Amino acid sequence: MEFSVKKYSWRELELLTDSFSEENFVGNIKHGKVYRGKTEQGQEVTVKIWFRFESQNRDVANRHANYSLTRLESECTFLTHPDGMKHPNLVKLIGYCCEVEDHHLGVVYDLRSKDTLLNLIDKDDLNWNQRMQLALAIARVLEYLHCHNPLYQLRFVHPALIMLDQDSNPVLFDFFMLSGGIVGDKQFVSYRDKSHLCYLPYLDIYFNGLGVWSLRSDQFSFAIVLIGLISKRAFSGENWKDETEKPLIWASDQYHMKLKSGFQPNDCHLVHESLKAEPGFHDLDGVSLTKMIFHCMNFHSVKRPTMSQIVQCLQGLHVFNGDFGVVEGLLQGWDSYTFPGKKKSSKWKGCLKIACLGMKADEIDQGNKKDAQRINH
């Protein structure tokens, strides 16, 4: 495996990070860690490593080892291709380490890391304007990935995989399940593996229902990121013992609590109280963002908006001095089938929790097959 970037030894990665010291540790990724580093010339970099998955089951251990190697190869292929090099919010690759026998796998990025979005999302470091700028920038990079033919899909948009640089610009630095484009149709997670992923709060319920990826799975993950940004809630757990703490259910419950307390549907939103008093905030923006979130989490994925529509909606918010008429028109044009509070039928009762999670397995199977047929046609 050779790429048109520098090839590092594991020893060189240790030197960059001061032997992967705690002082340089930034955060975790799936089966790996991220560190700040510095070259002998003083250049600040970010180093990401994948560690060996320990298991007494040799088949499981080998599968994870092959998976990490495939992730490294796919990421290097993408980031050394023009598709992965042109966008300012995609990380720039300097080099990689691949010592297979010792399972020493890693990459070096040209990135001055501030912190991951996950570590900052529930802090006061980010004001309302910054949060909206981040949401728009993330939506734009997803729109860029989706505009290719064949399109790229991240399939797992997560704030732990989005780094803020020193100027607080969001940079996608990990491509956990990237598929499409120059990478090809990758199936990093199969249906048999989904048992250890189904509780990940950012994973599309469409996949959880049938084990098949939707063409609009990124929209679901983006919606969960957006919930965190506006509610200052970091959904960081991987095993959710309490169902009500899953972001999809939490958002629905919060919305219904406001309805029960006397709010009208057009006045309900998920924005944290501390953000409402900040300059640039407008109630209509909060309502619009909340509606857009529920549209993006529609169980029937073909009814979710495209990333271009999401970008257009975000650009029309008051915080960007946009034309709210555009936002209102977009929201009215999208199918509000799963929007809590709008009663479509007695079966669904207008409740996202029931519509998405209360279905039987055969209903999920039939619904996904119908959606897949509509996508293909």
Task: Find the CATH number of the domain harbouring 327.
Answer: 1.10.510.10
User: Among 111, 132, 152, which residue terminates a domain?
Assistant: 111
pTM above 0.95, yes or no: no
> Of 37-41, 64-68, 349-353, which range is least confident?
349-353
Residue 102 lies in a domain: yes
Q: What local confidence, expressed as pLDDT, does residue 155 receive?
A: 87
Give 307-346 pLDDT, tens digit per residue. Answer: 999 999 999 999 997 776 778 777 777 744 445 544 443 3
Q: Rounded CA gap, 273 and 232, in Å?
A: 10
Q: What local confidence, expressed as pLDDT, does residue 88 receive?
A: 94
Q: What local confidence, expressed as pLDDT, does residue 373 receive?
A: 46
Q: What local confidence, expressed as pLDDT, does residue 107 receive?
A: 97
> Of 9-23, 253-267, 314-328, 359-373, which range is least confident?
359-373
> Of 30-44, 121-135, 241-255, 317-331, which range is least confident?
241-255
Distances (CA, A) of 56 to 61, 312, 356: 8, 50, 37
Element housing 28 (H / E): strand 25-29
Q: Rounded CA gap, 53 and 175, in Å?
A: 19
Q: Are residues 146 and 77 in the same domain?
A: no
Give 50-65 pLDDT, tens digit per residue. Answer: 987 665 666 656 666 6
Residue 259 lies in a domain: yes
Instruction: With a cut of 70, say whether residue 10 has pLDDT above it.
Output: yes
Going by their DSSP bridges, the two strands 6-7 and 93-99 should be labelled as: parallel
Q: What local confidence, expressed as pLDDT, does residue 343 receive?
A: 47
Q: What local confidence, expressed as pLDDT, does residue 364 receive?
A: 35
Q: Which residues contact 128 (CB under 8 A, 6 or more apart)?
A: 275, 278, 279, 280, 281, 319
Residue 74 lies in a domain: yes
Residue 93, strand partner residues: 109
Distances (CA, A) of 190 to 63, 91, 207, 208, 256: 12, 27, 10, 11, 35
Percentage of the chain beyond pLDDT 70 is 77
Residue 83 lies in a domain: yes
Cβ count within 10 A of residue 74: 19
CATH, residue 23:
3.30.200.20
Q: Rounded CA gap, 352 and 342, in Å?
A: 10
Q: Rounded CA gap, 232 and 286, in Å?
A: 13
Q: Are residues 123 and 106 in the same domain?
A: no
CB 14 within 8 A of CB 99: no
Give 130-145 pLDDT, tens digit per residue. Answer: 999 999 999 999 999 9
Tokens describing residue 150 = 């064949």
Q: What local confidence, expressed as pLDDT, does residue 204 receive?
A: 83
Q: Rounded CA gap, 306 and 64, in Å?
A: 33
CB 351 within 8 A of CB 259: no
Query: What three-state secondary structure class fits 233?
Result: coil
Q: Are residues 166 and 262 in the same domain?
A: yes
User: Among 94, 111, 128, which residue terminates a domain?
Assistant: 111
Nearest Cα neighbor of 330 from 299, 305, 307, 301 is: 305
Residue 217 lies in a domain: yes
Instruction: With a cut of 60, say whether residue 14 has pLDDT above it.
Output: yes
User: Among 111, 132, 165, which residue terminates a domain?
Assistant: 111
Q: What local confidence, expressed as pLDDT, does residue 55 receive?
A: 57
Instruction: With a cut of 70, say whether residue 240 has pLDDT above it.
Output: no
Nearest Cα neighbor of 290 from 324, 259, 255, 261 is: 255
Q: Are residues 265 and 278 in the same domain?
A: yes
Q: What local confidence, expressed as pLDDT, does residue 231 receive?
A: 95
Tokens describing residue 267 = 């006045």
Q: Are residues 102 and 143 in the same domain?
A: no
Q: Are residues 272 and 294 in the same domain?
A: yes
Q: Are residues 329 and 229 in the same domain?
A: yes
**Most confident option among 165-174, 197-206, 290-299:** 165-174
Residue 1 lies in a domain: no
**Rounded to the nearest 5°, which phi and psi values hold at 232?**
55, 45
Residue 134 lies in a domain: yes
Percentage of the chain beyond pLDDT 90 is 51
| Domain of residue 14, residue span | 6-111
CB pairs under 8 A, 24+ apart, for 339-345? 339/291, 339/294, 339/295, 340/252, 340/255, 340/256, 340/259, 340/294, 341/255, 341/256, 341/259, 341/265, 341/268, 342/265
Which ranges of the chain would DSSP assign to H, the alpha helix?
A: 10-16, 58-79, 82-85, 117-120, 128-146, 205-210, 217-231, 247-260, 273-276, 283-296, 307-315, 324-333, 352-357, 361-376
Q: Which residues contact 177 (CB under 8 A, 6 or more apart)?
A: 153, 154, 155, 156, 186, 188, 189
Q: Are residues 258 and 122 in the same domain?
A: yes
Q: Are residues 22 and 142 in the same domain?
A: no
Handedness of CA 129, 219, 246, 70 (dihedral sign): negative
CB 175 within 8 A of CB 78: yes
Residue 176 lies in a domain: yes
Residue 99, strand partner residues: 104
Instruction: With a cut of 80, say whether residue 47 has pLDDT above it.
Output: yes
Q: Are residues 97 and 127 in the same domain?
A: no
Q: Are residues 314 and 368 in the same domain?
A: yes
Overall number of domains in the chain: 2
Cβ count within 10 A of residue 194: 15
Q: What local confidence, expressed as pLDDT, does residue 63 receive?
A: 64
> Of 48-52, 209-213, 221-225, which range is least confident?
209-213
Q: Are residues 191 and 170 in the same domain?
A: yes
